[in-house]
Amino acid sequence: MTLAMLAVFLIHVLLGLPLFIALLATAVVGFFFVDVSMIPRMMPQQFFGGINAFSLMAIPLFILAGNLMNASKLTDRLMALARLLVGHLRGGMGHVNVVSSVFFAGVNGSAVADTSALGSLLVPAMRKEGYSTAFAAGLTAGSSLIGPIIPPSIFMILYASLTNTSVGDLFLAGVIPGLLLGVAFMTMNAVHAWRIGLPKRGGWPSKRELAVTALGALPALIAPFIIVAGIVMGVVTPTESGALTALYVALYGVVAGNLTLPGLWKAIVDTTRLTAAIFVIMAASSIVSWLLSYAQVPSQFVELLTPYIDSPVIILLLLSLITFATGMFMEEVSALMLLTPIFAPIAMLAGIDMVHLGIIITLNITIALITPPMGACVYVAAAVSRLEITALFRTIWPFVITALVVLMALILFPSLALWLPTTLG
Amino acid sequence: MTRFLRGPVALVQRLSLWLASAMLAIDLLAILYGVFTRYVAGGAPIWTDELARYLIIGAVMLAMGTVWIEGGHMRVALIERLLPRALGRLLSWYQWLLTLAIAFVGAWISYRYAQSVSMFTSQGLGISRTVPVMAMPIGFAMLALLALCHGPRPLPTLHEEPEPETTP
Cross-chain Cβ contact A281/B53 below 8 Å:
no
Which residues of chain A carry a pLDDT beneath 50? Answer: none
Residue-level pLDDT at B167: 35
Residue-level pLDDT at B158: 53
Cross-chain Cβ contact A276/B72 below 8 Å:
yes
Residues 4-33 of A with CB under 8 A from B: 12-22, 24-25, 28
Residues 39-68 of A with CB under 8 A from B: 39-41, 43-45, 47-48, 51-54, 56-57, 60-61, 64
Contact with chain B for residue A284, Cβ under 8 A: no
* Pick among A14, A17, A36, A337 to test the B interface (most B CBs inside 10 A): A17
Q: What is the pTM of this model?
A: 0.84
Cross-chain Cβ contact B91/A64 below 8 Å:
no
Residue-level pLDDT at B161: 40
Contact with chain A for residue B110, Cβ under 8 A: yes
Which residues of chain B carry a pLDDT beneath 70? Answer: 1-3, 157-168
Listed residue (B67, B70, B41) closest to B155, CA to CA: B70
DSSP helix/strand/coil, B128:
strand
Contact with chain A for residue B125, Cβ under 8 A: no
Confirm if A47 and B110 have CB atoms less than 8 A apart. Answer: yes
> What ipTM score was computed for the predicted complex, to two decimals?
0.90
Chain B neighbors of A10, CB-CB under 8 A? none
pLDDT digit string, tens, across residues A65-107: 888 888 888 878 888 888 888 888 888 889 999 998 888 888 7
Query: For A185-208, b where at least 16 C-beta lie within 10 A, e where not — what string?
Result: bbebbbebbeeeebeeeeeebeee
Residue-level pLDDT at B164: 39
Per DSSP, B39 falls in state: I
How many residues are given for chain A?
Answer: 425
Residue-level pLDDT at A215: 86
pLDDT digit string, tens, across residues A176-194: 999 999 999 999 999 999 9
Chain B neighbors of A374, CB-CB under 8 A? 76
Instruction: Determine the longest span between alpha carbons in chain A, in angstroms.
Output: 72
CB nearest to B113's CB, from A45, A52, A61: A45
Task: Write the single-letter amino acid at A14.
Answer: L
Contact with chain A for residue B11, Cβ under 8 A: no
Listed residue (A32, A67, A116, A24) closest to A275, CA to CA: A67
CB nearest to B159's CB, from A56, A281, A383: A383
